[in-house]
């Protein structure tokens, strides 16, 4: 079937009658000689009958998904308020910009096809190929090759090019290699969803929030891809980590005639928490209140309920990370002292749910296996190493549970012919969810072994492979129809303080220091966990200040590293990381997710630092052009 199977089957592998965006694949050409292939391309003519494209999500004729979250009675909340603060916030596309572009090799093999590729989710590709080619499960094999970065950009897109390479390989009976160059990768592959977010908030004079009303509109691009789940995470995080009895969040993700947007680290939450945290700053300004005190007053505490009605446990550390970051950075003193200078300081408080949203983990029913070896154990999971430390961290969890040296644990290559489906490598779930399944496998092996050595056990009993399936904490409840219940097994908590300088001539904003405090339950490998926080923070700085996708007629006009600017060493400030460890009962050794949360905080903290300079910015990236424009209009009160 001509489709790239994901949530829906709406995206064709090759367009048949209609193209919805300019980068849509129509036909495939292959040749062993690259130069001759480019010649052949010149021989192809395609005639198009144009129709009116839609580039503005506000005018989209098609909604992919609409979600409403309701808590309490919003009208009552507004009636209780002393002040009502409104605002509209905008965030643009962001390109993942892994340094290794998307690429695959397909081989006709075993009456089917084998695909090697730079990818995050081998079983997504496996399913897409089965549906596309109509092949049985055992005729499709997907092997992950060493992957040069993903950040969500190799979550769903590899299914597309794997499909293209597989069709060519089956047609020609020869291996086919398909590697995008940078321009192709930037124009065609998925990006972070642009969003327009409107807030209307009721607040008491003392700073207590009485009503939060939020409207979220995301641009999904031409096909659905993962947009419904991106929206879901976005709306669930839209209030920021604040308690309020009366909440209404309305979210939509709609079609436009631009390349489909998709997964990118943070997955909807960076957009909505950017809006939430800049809005909080504006509420503090409206009340003439210290921004730290406003956040302290409203931040979630253990026992509070989120917008979906989830009751937070003792692992809720919002106030703790806030106070710690404020203290370490000297926020209050600098915030006062720097007013009227070219220096500014801003903060953001944020949270991030670990694992799939709502009933997602139950539906996935991930499996992981552990095989006893003579030296120790071999891990069998489909969770990929994409630079975040999967292999190291999983091996540590298994070694510590078995009580054996780390060196005695092996990790099997990610190959669908050999490893069970432990779910996609996304959603900050690889440690907390898959790591936990491995811990359970290891515990069972340890029990079975008793005092026997692995060598003796194997000699006596033959092989031993333990496979376990995801089992959530007891009492986790979610209703997808009403959007009520426990949205995530656990949330991580973070606070960023960003210091900036404004160049008075060029209007560039230079971040000079980030102080970040993040509670991730437990850092299984502190150097790797810090690396996730440092790297995610740097990407967040890029999102805030530099990274702008310019679309012209629905096509990325700056699809080059020359003019799509990601942070270099000179753009990245010193990043001072503190990890707090408030263990989560159901995570392996107390761990929660860490991969995504760090990208939620920098954008609002940067924009709030710019507000501290007296400049009213409500759209990111805060480029010099936007700073200039905002500086020449009215400034922050």
Partner 1 sequence: MRFTLNGKSRNVEAPPMKRLLDVLREDCGLTGTKEGCGEGECGACTVLLDGLAVNSCLVPFAQIRGSSVTTIEGLRGDHPLQHAFLVEGGAQCGICTPGMILAAAALPRGATRAEIRAGLAGNICRCTGYTAIYRAVESAAAGRPRRRRRN
Interactions with partner 1, residue window 579-608 (CB under 8 A): none
Burial environment of residue 428 by CB neighbours within 10 A (0 to 12, 13 to 18, 19 or more): buried
3-state helix, strand, coil in the chain (%, to 5): 30, 25, 45
The least distance separating partner 1 from the CB of residue 571, rounded to whole angstroms, comes to 9
Mask 90-109, x = binds partner 1 (CB under 8 A)? ------xxxxxx--------
**Cα 195 from Cα 516, distance rounded (Å):** 25
Mask 475-514, x = binds partner 1 (CB under 8 A)? ----------------------------------------
Kindly tell me which residue out of 181, 447, 474, 481 binds partner 1, with binding defined by CB under 8 A.
181
Q: Give 340's contacts (C-beta < 8 A, 6+ positions apart).
A: 614
Length of the chain: 637
Kindly tell me which residue out of 107, 280, 433, 528 binds partner 1, with binding defined by CB under 8 A.
528
**Under the criterion CB under 8 A, does residue 38 sit at the interface with partner 1?**
no
**Under the criterion CB under 8 A, does residue 535 sit at the interface with partner 1?**
yes
Kindly tell me which residue out of 87, 313, 472, 531 binds partner 1, with binding defined by CB under 8 A.
531
**Cα 163 from Cα 160, distance rounded (Å):** 5
Kind and range of the H or E element at 65? strand 63-71
Kindly tell me which residue out of 44, 46, 527, 637 binds partner 1, with binding defined by CB under 8 A.
527
**Cα 212 from Cα 555, distance rounded (Å):** 36
The least distance separating partner 1 from the CB of residue 99, rounded to whole angstroms, comes to 4
The least distance separating partner 1 from the CB of residue 27, rounded to whole angstroms, comes to 24
**Number of Cβ atoms within 10 Å of the Cβ of 233:** 26
Kindly tell me which residue out of 285, 534, 581, 616 binds partner 1, with binding defined by CB under 8 A.
534
The least distance separating partner 1 from the CB of residue 523, rounded to whole angstroms, comes to 12
Tokens of 445: 């092996």
SS (H, E, C) 566-598: CCCCCCCCEEEEEEECCCCCCCHHHCCCCCCHH
The least distance separating partner 1 from the CB of residue 269, rounded to whole angstroms, comes to 19
**Under the criterion CB under 8 A, does residue 566 sit at the interface with partner 1?**
yes
**Under the criterion CB under 8 A, does residue 557 sit at the interface with partner 1?**
no
The least distance separating partner 1 from the CB of residue 513, rounded to whole angstroms, comes to 12
Map residue 188 onto helix, strand or coil: helix
Interactions with partner 1, residue window 135-174 (CB under 8 A): 146-151
> How far are the Cα atoms of 318, 385, 573 from residue 388, in angstroms, in the given order?
25, 7, 21
Mask 374-403, x = binds partner 1 (CB under 8 A)? ------------xxxx--------------
Kindly tell me which residue out of 45, 51, 569, 633 binds partner 1, with binding defined by CB under 8 A.
569
Q: Decide whether 472 or 531 has the Cβ nearer to partner 1.
A: 531
**Largest Cα–Cα distance in the chain?**
81
Tell me the chain's radius of gyration from C-alpha atoms. Answer: 25
Map residue 264 onto helix, strand or coil: coil
**Cα 377 from Cα 357, distance rounded (Å):** 31
The least distance separating partner 1 from the CB of residue 179, rounded to whole angstroms, comes to 9
**Under the criterion CB under 8 A, does residue 544 sit at the interface with partner 1?**
no
**Under the criterion CB under 8 A, does residue 568 sit at the interface with partner 1?**
yes
- The DSSP-derived string for 342-406 is SEEEEEEEEEEEESSSTTHHHHH--EEEEEE-SSSEEEE-----SSS-HHHHHHHHHHHHHT--G
Q: Decide whether 294 or 545 has the Cβ nearer to partner 1.
A: 545
The least distance separating partner 1 from the CB of residue 562, rounded to whole angstroms, comes to 6
**Under the criterion CB under 8 A, does residue 560 sit at the interface with partner 1?**
yes
The least distance separating partner 1 from the CB of residue 203, rounded to whole angstroms, comes to 35
C-alpha neighbours within 13 Å on the C-beta side of residue 224: 17
Q: Decide whether 147 or 189 has the Cβ nearer to partner 1.
A: 147
The least distance separating partner 1 from the CB of residue 358, rounded to whole angstroms, comes to 30
**Under the criterion CB under 8 A, does residue 371 sit at the interface with partner 1?**
no
Q: Which residue has the tokens 């904003």?
A: 509
Closest CA to 350 of 603, 124, 169, 542: 603
The least distance separating partner 1 from the CB of residue 333, rounded to whole angstroms, comes to 25
**Number of Cβ atoms within 10 Å of the Cβ of 244:** 23
619-620 and 83-91 strand pairing: parallel
Kindly tell me which residue out of 530, 608, 623, 631 binds partner 1, with binding defined by CB under 8 A.
530
**Under the criterion CB under 8 A, does residue 407 sit at the interface with partner 1?**
yes
Kindly tell me which residue out of 238, 442, 575, 615 binds partner 1, with binding defined by CB under 8 A.
575
Asked if residue 80 lies in contact with residue 211, where contact means CB atoms within 8 angstroms, the answer is: yes
Kindly tell me which residue out of 466, 538, 594, 606 binds partner 1, with binding defined by CB under 8 A.
538
Mask 331-370, x = binds partner 1 (CB under 8 A)? ----------------------------------------
**Under the criterion CB under 8 A, does residue 247 sit at the interface with partner 1?**
no
The least distance separating partner 1 from the CB of residue 558, rounded to whole angstroms, comes to 12
* Interface stretch with partner 1, choices 18-26, 309-317, 419-427, 561-569 (CB under 8 A): 561-569
Report how many residues bind partner 1 under the rule CB under 8 A. Answer: 41
**Under the criterion CB under 8 A, does residue 264 sit at the interface with partner 1?**
no
Mask 54-93, x = binds partner 1 (CB under 8 A)? ----------------------------------------
**Cα 226 from Cα 230, distance rounded (Å):** 6
Asked if residue 370 lies in contact with residue 442, where contact means CB atoms within 8 angstroms, the answer is: yes
Q: Decide whether 148 or 313 has the Cβ nearer to partner 1.
A: 148
Asked if residue 416 lies in contact with residue 141, where contact means CB atoms within 8 angstroms, the answer is: yes
**Cα 287 from Cα 82, distance rounded (Å):** 10
> How far are the Cα atoms of 2, 140, 411, 480, 611 from residue 116, in angstroms, in the given order?
21, 11, 18, 36, 48
Residue ranges that bind partner 1, judged by CB under 8 A: 96-101, 146-151, 181-182, 386-389, 407, 527-528, 530-531, 534-539, 560-562, 566-570, 572, 574-575, 577
């Amino acid at each position: 079937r001509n489709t790239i199977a994901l949530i829906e089957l709406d995206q064709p592998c090759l367009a048949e009658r209609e193209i919805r965006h300019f980068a849509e694949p129509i036909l495939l050409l292959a040749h062993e000689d690259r130069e001759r292939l480019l010649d052949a391309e010149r021989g192809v003519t395609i005639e198009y009958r144009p129709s009116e494209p839609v580039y503005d999500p506000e005018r989209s004729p098609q909604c992919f998904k609409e979600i409403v979250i309701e808590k309490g009675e919003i009208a009552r909340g507004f009636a209780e308020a002393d002040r009502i603060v409104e605002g509209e916030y905008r965030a643009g596309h962001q390109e993942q910009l892994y340094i290794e572009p998307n690429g695959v090799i397909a081989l006709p093999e075993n009456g089917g096809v084998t695909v090697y590729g730079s990818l995050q989710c081998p079983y997504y590709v496996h399913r897409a190929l089965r549906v596309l080619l109509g092949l049985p499960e055992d005729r499709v094999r997907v092997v992950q090759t060493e992957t040069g970065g993903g950040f969500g950009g190799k979550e769903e897109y590899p299914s597309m090019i794997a499909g293209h390479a597989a069709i060519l390989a089956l047609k020609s009976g020869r291996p086919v290699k398909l590697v995008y160059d940078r321009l192709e990768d930037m124009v065609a592959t998925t990006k972070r969803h642009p969003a327009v977010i409107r807030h209307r908030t009721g607040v008491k004079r003392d700073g207590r929030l009485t009503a939060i009303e939020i409207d979220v509109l995301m641009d999904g691009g031409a096909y659905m891809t993962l947009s419904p789940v991106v929206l879901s995470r976005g709306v669930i995080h839209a209030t920021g980590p604040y308690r309020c009895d009366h909440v209404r969040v309305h979210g939509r993700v709609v079609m436009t005639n631009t390349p489909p947007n998709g997964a990118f680290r943070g997955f909807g939450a960076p957009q909505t928490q950017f809006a939430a945290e800049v809005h909080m700053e504006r509420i503090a300004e409206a009340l003439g209140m210290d921004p730290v005190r406003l956040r302290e007053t409203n931040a979630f505490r253990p026992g509070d309920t989120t917008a979906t009605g989830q009751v937070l446990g003792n692992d809720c550390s919002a106030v703790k990370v806030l106070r710690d970051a404020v203290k370490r950075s000297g926020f209050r003193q600098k915030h006062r002292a720097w007013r009227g200078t070219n220096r500014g300081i801003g903060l953001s408080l944020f949270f991030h749910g670990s694992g799939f949203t709502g009933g997602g983990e139950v539906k996935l029913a991930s499996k992981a296996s552990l095989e006893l070896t003579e030296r120790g154990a071999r891990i069998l999971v489909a969770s990929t190493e994409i630079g975040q430390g999967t292999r190291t961290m999983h091996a540590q969890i298994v070694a510590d549970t078995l009580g054996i040296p780390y060196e005695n644990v092996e990790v099997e290559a990610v190959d669908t012919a050999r490893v069970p489906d432990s779910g996609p490598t996304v959603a900050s779930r690889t440690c907390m969810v898959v790591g936990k399944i491995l811990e359970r496998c290891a515990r069972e092996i340890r029990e079975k072994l008793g005092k026997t050595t692995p060598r003796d056990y194997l000699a006596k009993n033959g092989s031993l492979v333990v496979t376990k399936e995801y089992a959530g904490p007891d009492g986790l409840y979610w209703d997808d129809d009403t959007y009520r219940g426990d949205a995530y097994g656990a949330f991580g908590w973070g606070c960023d303080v960003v210091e900036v300088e404004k160049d008075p001539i060029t209007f560039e904003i230079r971040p000079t220091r980030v102080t970040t405090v993040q509670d991730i339950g437990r850092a299984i490998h502190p150097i790797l966990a810090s690396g996730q926080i440092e790297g995610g923070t740097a990407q967040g700085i890029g999102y805030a200040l530099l990274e702008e996708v310019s679309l012209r007629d629905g096509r990325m006009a700056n699809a080059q590293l020359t003019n799509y600017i990601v942070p270099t060493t000179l753009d990245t400030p010193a990043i001072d990381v503190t990890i707090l460890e408030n263990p989560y009962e159901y995570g392996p050794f107390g761990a929660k997710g860490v991969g995504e949360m760090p990208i939620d905080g920098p954008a609002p903290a940067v924009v709030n630092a710019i507000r501290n300079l007296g400049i009213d910015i409500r759209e990111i990236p805060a480029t010099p052009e936007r700073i200039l424009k905002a500086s020449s209009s009215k400034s922050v009160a």
